[in-house]
Amino acid sequence: MTRRLLLGVIGDAAVGEEDARYALAREVGERAVDAGFRILCGGLGGVMEAACRGARQAERYAPGDTIGLLPGFDPNEANAWVDIPIATGLDHLRNGLVANADAVIAIGGGAGTLSEIAFAWMYKRPIVCLATEGWSGRLGDTSLDDRGDAERGPVLISVSSAEEAVRIAAARAAGATRRHGGVRRRAG
């Protein structure tokens, strides 16, 4: 059995169904599962809920395709579309786990999303940023530091559609062989 890739979907936790970011996340979730990904997120509302909800509408959806890494100790705090709720008890520290998916798509976002982007960057994960309000719109097509990829350009790729985001995430995740090698200690 081949391993299915994990797509970390990160973004605004408080956006409602009437917000364009919710619609983008829902489309990302659906397209991602149809492209062969499983969805990994923080398991709560807003963008996380929308991505899981969209995943459940995908033609290729199967139980287990939506995974929520919850901040608290109660698995029942997960949104209704999470198949596998994992109560971490880690609060915001769980962001580092979500960011270690095979690829990450950012949709808007505040401080929590910013931390996930920074973790994904340090882990050398492909990051696709939807050009919308929030950190994803501000950081697209930039490098956070000198860890950018000389061959492919900045790791934070700006796109304007869910279709393009999933297509690029799939291509980059399939070819991503570099992983974070751990924290290096300085001599002396």
How far apart are alpha carbons 104 and 99 in whole angstroms? Answer: 7
Residues of the domain holding 87: 5-175
pLDDT of res. 133: 96
State the total domains in the chain: 1
From residue 103, how far is each of 125, 156, 181 by CA, in Å?
6, 11, 17
Separation of CA 105 from chain center: 4
Residue % of the chain over a pLDDT of 70: 88
Q: Is residue 68 part of a domain?
A: yes
pLDDT of res. 1: 53
CATH of the domain at 168: 3.40.50.450
The confidence band for 115, taking pLDDT boundaries of 50, 70 and 90, is very high
Supply the mean pLDDT for the chain: 92
Whether 13 contacts 52, CB under 8 Å: no
pLDDT of res. 9: 98
